[in-house]
């Protein structure tokens, strides 16, 4: 392509002052000192097949298991559960004569439960394996010998291979750049997957390998690399290349890292240095951890309590049996065994008591619910299915749905305290929109930012005394409505323009949301100071490092810029009539559409020097010469930097521009100031000599020299104006963060971006706002610290943390909010054991925390610090390979299935298409899943205690003989069929409130982090309820049946009749209990709850109809024995009511005198007050927000306080004047 050939001729390194300059080398300069033993033979991968040069393959895996480890690891995971361990012991003991049950009845349930759980684990891990293989099977062009390249899967790449990577492909391993399609061997790399930055990085090869620029040139290529060993540092590399009998030092600018992408470069050649898990991105990854939810961990403690109870009653039973055997059995001649076998030996009561202990441990095993785990597994899989199929979390653009990649942590979604989020690709979609500008002291741009619109609308709603008729009218003479408030001069709000004419509607232009007729279509030439406007637009079109690309489909130019801001400026310049359309080695060309002649004119500007942007300089300048020979310095940068460099004559517009900049900042916009300086040729020539000397100098002070010389030129500037761009976040991000903040969640941002970018994003998504006090913890570069070294830096940082903590404690303003901002270098010191807890204490006291320039490993370390330091549930969310560490380290990892790669998704527990879906995932599904699982587990323990203790009571009545009052089939069906389906329906379908109400009342979410439904008070309450029910069921039935006739004929009830009646009462009581527990009924719940009771009677009827050889004493038990006896039905009714009466009284009292939040909402919805009394509904909604100092709502409230202050001030001044 012609465009590609033109671009490839540009020696881009000449454009860069600092980042891409190749210093001249001298013969005296030796190779780098390499600390490492790695040796790579270039183009000879076969030499790396044997030790000591045998390195790991390029095959990567993020799975928890493999074919070899699955069985032992999965079995270990299952038997980490205390209940499973108990039932394994019981299953082994069931093979002995002392078991009261057959071995099959004990082994089969355990095998079913463990097998089902292991199958679920295998299924979920197989999905990770499939995602891994998609990456491993990607193809890349590899040198096969004799100058011939062919495609090979990624996982077959070896150290030493020469690869040819083409435009928009990911690098499959860490490579040493040998050459590129550009003649000076540079290439552009996007590292978003590594450090989160979207601006392109410039990499360059060594001059000695520039000639290796086609396939044939590698026919005889040989070389040797000696470099550092594999390590996780993304920003360092030390090594030497031995080539052509010379040794050349290597540095990070020659290294292309795995999972970064080649951009704006046709192709590159590189040799593989690190493969697979040796690559830097994989070194930053951590092993897939085994995660367990908080509820599941707590369940173990409950099992311990029940197991203690089991052992206690078993000891009582064993002791009672031994006493009976010793003192009473000798008198009971009819119970004497013919051949004592130890299990029952009246002559040795101690041994019999010991054997009975084991029998009792198995008999009372129904206290430990074996079906609990399998029921939870089933419920969680069904919950995960509902998450996967939620249409509200479906992204139409990508076609991706939410995916619960593991269902083990569903309920954990409802207990999150802190969210740790990546920035790029997670919060942002990397798009800037040019929205406003200030030129020659005049503000332009009538569109308002989201913050401004929301503030005015909210104020119009809240301030009932604000008369909107005083607001200015729209074009056409109509007053604005409350929903679309235009700027009122007395409160200085920007205008919100809505077109009333369809002809005014224009197609949206990516990067350009500006609207103001005074500047569009060449009207700027009619404005006062038109020459200043001309300079403003030329600065936008010339002061940059972008490359234009002609889009044949649209007929216009798009721009590959190093930052989104630059792209937005160039689009704005194009729309204003100054189209940058070509760049050569030494010039840029701009097509100016609106000229005095009326015809477009193409103008050439020669680039003399480029002083590029760095985070330290906070500005960028370009020195150009126009066609008339005039030399100009054009500069753009942070206003604080530019204003300090203005000349006396250049401050004409400073005051008004400062006012506009403050307004733009309050509106959440990113601002830059624009200035220029005219230069004489002699003046420039003198300076350029100094600059070239500094540029070509060798030594450690080269950067300082360049900075000093650049600073000399960037003085005596004349202010032109300022720009304001809106950072385009992903759709719904501010609203999502606002809702999560109202739900009481804390949000940290961990990004690899520069501090300035991170702060601007913080403003854009309302984690930061005007008036919030920023605490920046950084390492200073003073001479004193350099002398003191590491200890001095640590002491300085600790002082900063201590001072900031003290400042927060002394703050008296209730509305004051603090934001903590820290960079990766400082974080390296802070994460030291001596300082990390002080840092965490400070961070917890701040409303928001932003960590910038952090490496993937630091992200994981910060996540671990928050998780372990606070002891609360953490959630990490990201979209790139650089986020894998923190996703795996957090209690819950969420991956964004976005455009770039799938590494984060493969390592995550849940995946969503966009950040905004996190709101629904947590506030709706998290809330539901937590309450469902918590209530389900509590109910499970309740019903098993209610059932299991009746066995113990009967044992006491039956001389601790080991006899069960229930038929074996009753006991087998109790957990499997008769009570399992209703509890599963509770875990799957229960809703205390609807999804809409969850989103309207976000404070309901705090029931999870506060653990209101699974604290010890509630757990012990349910256990107490089970104890009470067991006492009622057993003793009330014994009282009813003990001393009176059971049937018309005067017969008394036998054990089978009493046992069946008691079991009927249990079935009724526990199913009525779960019906009282449910807040939300569907036909499924009704079917399963009442159907379970019907199933019991149906089973009793069919079982009784079978032969006595099968049914035993239960033959015709319902038809002939219980059915005709009124006392059976009366006892069932009486016992069921008595069992459930205390719970009914408790919930009635609670709803009347101490209602929880969801109780109030349920009653409002039931009586339809949300429709009949909207004012009350709105008031209750405003109450149902956690007090927060971040988020869009907090930002709007701060703006409202500001506006009210201005109105009150104006009102007071009017009163004093009158």
* Strands, sheet with 619-625, edge to edge from the N-terminal-most edge strand: 442-444, 428-439, 718-729, 670-679, 631-637, 619-625, 601-611, 587-592, 578-583
d(CA 796, CA 879): 35
The residue behind tokens 């909210």 is: 458
Contacts of 1210 (CB under 8 A, 6+ apart): 490
Q: Who's near 596: CB < 8 A, 6+ residues apart?
A: none
Strand order, beta sheet including 239-243: 38-42, 223-227, 239-243, 246-250
Catalytic residue among 161, 184, 422, 967: 422
Look up residue 392 and give its two tokens: 């509200």
Q: Are 551 and 560 in contact (CB under 8 A)?
A: no
Q: Give the CA radius of gyration of the chain.
A: 38
Residue 195 annotated as catalytic: no
Report the alpha-carbon distance of residue 475 to residue 497 in Å, rounded: 9
Coil, strand, or helix at residue 368? coil
Distance from C-alpha of 345 to C-alpha of 663, rounded to nearest angstrom: 94
- The closest alpha carbon to 496, from 553, 466, 456, 443, belongs to 456
Residue at token pair 């560490």: 885
Pairing of β 601-611 and β 587-592: antiparallel
Tokens of 642: 């530019």
Which two three-digit tokens encode residue 63? 């799975």
Supply 266's token pair.
Answer: 């046709």
Nearest partner of 1005 among 294, 384, 416, judged by Cα: 416
Tokens standing for 517? 């007729």
Report the C-alpha gap between 1010 and 1018 in whole angstroms: 13
CA 438/CA 529 separation, integer angstroms: 12
Tell me whether residue 555 is exposed, middle or buried, using C-beta atoms within 10 angstroms of its C-beta: 0 to 12, 13 to 18, 19 or more: exposed
CA distance linking residue 1218 with residue 1216, whole number of Å: 5
Q: Which residues pair with 670 in a beta bridge?
A: 725
Q: Is the dihedral of CA 848, 854, 860, 861 positive or negative?
A: negative
Geometric angle at alpha carbon 648, from 643 and 649, rounded to 5°: 105
CB 243 within 8 A of CB 223: yes
Query: In b/e form, how buried is each residue of 473-486, taking b as 16+ CB within 10 angstroms?
Result: ebeeeeebeeeebb
Retrieve residue 144's tokens.
């096969």
In whole angstroms, what is the distance from residue 694 CA to residue 707 CA?
9
Alpha helix positions (H), 850-914? 856-870, 884-889, 903-907
- Angle between helical axes of 1083-1105 and 1055-1077 (0-180°, round to 10): 170
Q: How far is CA 707 from CA 253, 393, 710, 782, in A?
A: 21, 50, 5, 17
Provide the total of helices (H) and of strands (E) in the chain, helices listed first: 39, 33
Among 945, 1132, 1147, CA closest to 1028:
945
CA separation for the pair 633, 618 (Å, rounded): 16
Paired with 442 in beta bridges are 439
Instruction: Report which of 1063, 1065, 1058 is spatially closest to residue 1040, judged by C-alpha positions.
Output: 1058
Q: 335, 349, 366: which is closest to 100 by C-alpha?
A: 366
Catalytically active residues, by annotation = 422
């Amino acid at each position: 392509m012609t465009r590609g050939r033109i671009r490839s001729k540009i020696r881009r390194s000449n454009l860069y002052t600092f980042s891409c300059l190749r210093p001249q080398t001298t013969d005296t300069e030796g190779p780098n000192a390499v600390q490492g033993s790695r040796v790579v033979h270039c183009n000879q991968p076969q030499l790396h097949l044997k030790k000591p040069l045998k390195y790991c393959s390029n095959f990567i895996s993020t799975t928890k298991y493999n074919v070899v480890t699955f069985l032992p690891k999965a079995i270990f995971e299952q038997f980490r559960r205390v209940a499973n361990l108990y039932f394994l012991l019981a299953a082994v003991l069931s093979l002995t004569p002392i078991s009261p049950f057959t071995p099959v009845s004990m082994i089969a349930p355990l095998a079913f439960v463990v097998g089902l759980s292991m199958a679920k684990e295998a299924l979920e891990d197989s999905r990770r394996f499939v995602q891994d293989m998609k990456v491993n099977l990607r193809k890349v062009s590899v040198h096969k010998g004799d100058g011939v390249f062919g495609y090979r899967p990624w996982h077959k790449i070896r150290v030493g291979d020469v690869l040819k990577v083409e435009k928009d492909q990911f690098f499959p391993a860490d490579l040493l750049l040998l050459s590129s399609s550009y003649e000076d061997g540079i290439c552009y790399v996007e590292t978003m997957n590594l450090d989160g930055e979207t601006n392109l990085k410039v990499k360059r090869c060594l001059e000695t390998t520039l000639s290796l620029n086609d396939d044939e040139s590698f026919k005889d290529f040989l070389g040797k690399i000696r470099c550092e060993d594999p390590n996780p540092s993304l920003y360092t590399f030390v090594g030497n290349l031995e080539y052509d009998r010379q040794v050349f030092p290597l540095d990070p600018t020659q290294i292309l890292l795995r999972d970064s992408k080649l951009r704006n470069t046709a192709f590159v050649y590189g040799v593989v240095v690190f493969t697979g898990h040796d690559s830097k991105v994989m070194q930053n990854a951590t092993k897939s951890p085994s995660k367990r939810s908080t509820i599941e961990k707590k369940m173990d403690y409950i099992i311990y309590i029940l197991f203690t109870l089991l052992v206690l009653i078993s000891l009582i039973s064993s002791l009672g049996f031994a006493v009976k055997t010793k003192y009473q059995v000798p008198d009971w001649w009819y119970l004497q065994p013919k051949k004592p076998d130890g299990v029952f030996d009246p002559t040795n009561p101690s041994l019999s008591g010991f054997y009975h202990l084991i029998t009792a441990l198995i008999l009372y095993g129904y206290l430990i619910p074996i079906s609990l785990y399998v029921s939870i597994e089933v419920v969680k899989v069904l919950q995960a299915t509902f998450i996967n199929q939620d249409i509200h979390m479906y992204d139409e653009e990508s076609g991706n749905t939410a995916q619960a990649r593991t269902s083990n942590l569903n309920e954990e979604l409802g207990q999150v305290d802190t969210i740790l989020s990546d920035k790029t690709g997670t919060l942002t979609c990397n798009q800037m929109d040019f929205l406003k500008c200030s030129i020659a002291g005049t503000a332009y741009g009538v569109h308002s930012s989201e913050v401004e619109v929301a503030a005015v609308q909210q104020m119009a709603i809240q301030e009932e005394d604000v008369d909107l008729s005083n607001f200015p009218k729209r074009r056409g003479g109509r007053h604005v409505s409350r929903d679309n408030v235009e700027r009122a001069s007395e409160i200085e709000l920007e205008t919100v323009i809505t077109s009333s004419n369809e002809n005014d509607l224009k197609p949206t232009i990516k990067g350009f949301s500006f609207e103001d007729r005074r500047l569009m279509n060449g009207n700027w030439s009619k404005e006062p100071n038109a020459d200043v406007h001309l300079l403003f637009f030329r600065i936008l079109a010339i002061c940059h490092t972008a490359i234009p690309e002609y889009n044949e489909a649209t007929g216009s130019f798009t721009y590959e810029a190093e930052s989104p801001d630059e792209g937005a400026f160039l689009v704005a310049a194009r729309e204003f009539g100054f189209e940058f359309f070509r760049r050569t080695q030494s010039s840029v060309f701009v097509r100016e559409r609106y000229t005095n002649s009326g015809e477009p004119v193409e103008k050439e500007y020669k680039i003399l020097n480029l002083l590029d942007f760095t985070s330290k300089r906070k500005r960028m300048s370009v020195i150009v010469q126009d066609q008339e020979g005039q030399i100009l310095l054009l500069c753009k940068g942070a206003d604080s930097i530019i204003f300090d460099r203005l000349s006396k004559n250049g401050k004409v517009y400073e005051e008004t521009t400062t006012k506009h900049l403050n307004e733009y900042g309050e509106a959440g916009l990113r601002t830059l100031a624009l200035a220029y300086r005219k230069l004489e040729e002699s003046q420039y020539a003198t300076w350029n000599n100094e600059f070239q000397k500094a540029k070509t100098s060798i030594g450690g002070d080269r950067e300082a020299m360049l900075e000093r010389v650049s600073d000399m030129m960037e003085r005596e500037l004349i202010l032109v104006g300022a720009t304001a761009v809106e950072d385009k976040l992903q759709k719904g991000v501010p609203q999502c963060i606002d809702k999560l903040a109202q739900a009481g969640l804390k949000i940290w941002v961990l990004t690899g971006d520069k501090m300035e970018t991170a702060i601007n994003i913080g403003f854009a998504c309302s984690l930061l706002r005007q008036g919030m006090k920023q605490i920046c913890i950084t390492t200073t570069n003073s001479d004193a610290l350099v002398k003191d070294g590491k200890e001095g830096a640590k002491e300085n940082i600790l002082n900063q943390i201590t001072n900031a903590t003290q400042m927060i404690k002394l703050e008296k303003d209730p509305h004051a909010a603090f934001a903590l901002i820290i960079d990766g270098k400082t974080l390296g010191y802070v994460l030291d054991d001596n300082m990390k807890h002080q840092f965490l204490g400070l961070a917890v006291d701040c409303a928001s925390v932003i960590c910038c320039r952090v490496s993937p490993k630091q992200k994981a370390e910060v996540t671990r610090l928050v998780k372990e330091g606070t002891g609360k549930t953490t959630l990490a969310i990201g979209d790139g390979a650089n986020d894998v560490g923190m996703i795996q380290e957090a209690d819950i990892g969420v991956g964004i299935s976005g455009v770039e790669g799938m590494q984060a998704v493969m390592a995550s527990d849940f995946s969503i298409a966009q950040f905004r879906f996190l709101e629904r995932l947590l506030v709706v599904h998290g809330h539901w899943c937590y309450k469902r699982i918590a209530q389900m587990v509590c109910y499970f323990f309740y019903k098993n205690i209610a059932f299991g203790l009746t066995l113990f009571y009967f044992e006491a009545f039956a001389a601790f003989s080991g006899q069960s009052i229930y038929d074996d089939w009753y006991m087998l069906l109790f957990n499997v069929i008769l009570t399992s389906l209703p509890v599963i329906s509770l875990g799957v379908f229960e809703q205390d409130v609807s999804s809409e109400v969850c989103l309207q009342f976000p404070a309901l979410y705090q029931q999870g982090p506060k653990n209101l439904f699974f604290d010890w008070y509630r757990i012990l309450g349910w256990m107490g309820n089970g104890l009470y029910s067991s006492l009622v069921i057993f003793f009330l039935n014994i009282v009813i049946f003990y001393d009176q006739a059971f049937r018309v004929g005067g017969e008394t009830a036998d054990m089978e009749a009493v046992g069946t009646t008691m079991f009927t009462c249990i079935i009724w009581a526990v199913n009525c209990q779960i019906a009282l527990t449910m807040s939300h009924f569907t036909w499924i719940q009704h079917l399963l709850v009442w159907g379970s009771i019907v199933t019991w009677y149906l089973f009793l009827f069919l079982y009784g109809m079978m032969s006595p050889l099968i049914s035993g004493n239960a033959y015709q038990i319902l038809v002939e024995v219980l059915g005709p006896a009124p006392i059976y039905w009366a006892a069932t009714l009486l016992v069921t009511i008595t069992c459930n009466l205390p719970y009914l009284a408790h919930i009635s009292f609670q709803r009347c005198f101490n209602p929880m939040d969801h109780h109030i909402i349920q009653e409002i919805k039931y009586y339809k007050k949300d429709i009949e009394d909207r004012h009350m509904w709105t008031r209750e909604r405003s109450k149902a927000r956690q007090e927060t100092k971040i988020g869009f709502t907090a930002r709007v409230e701060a703006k409202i306080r500001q506006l009210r202050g201005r109105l009150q001030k104006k009102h007071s001044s009017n009163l004093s004047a009158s």
